[in-house]
Structure 1
Amino acid sequence: MPYQVLPGLAIITGMFTISGLAIGGKKLILRDDWDRALDARDMRLKDRIQWEEKLKAEGKWH
């Protein structure tokens, strides 16, 4: 009787797949606080470099 179970399992699997595609979003895997801290540091450094370049362009940088 396993063949009688297959249509039901196929329907259930298909429905979970469809709902996962419809509801689910992209998710970054294996990211932790260290990675977020590095991203924040990189943004601060990028902002600092842009700020220094702006000051140099205005002639206010020593």
Structure 2
Amino acid sequence: MLVSMSAVLLLGLLIWFLLRIRYLRWAEFLLCTVFGFLLAKTAAEPLVQAALDGVGGFLGQLQF
């Protein structure tokens, strides 16, 4: 668990940096995918899932 939390933190900082300098391509997309899988293994998973469910519910209620 400690290793996955460290990896999540490190990859999160790297993704933030890549987004900040606007240098996100296919290789970085794979990095983001690995970050997502590692995040799913941590204690933050329920919070992330609840946030995604909330955003999905909000977008589902929008009328165009």
Q: TM-score by structure 1 length?
A: 0.34
Structure scoring higher RCO (CA < 8 A, sep ≥ 6) equals 2
Q: Taking structure 2 as the reference length, what is the TM-score of the superposition?
A: 0.33
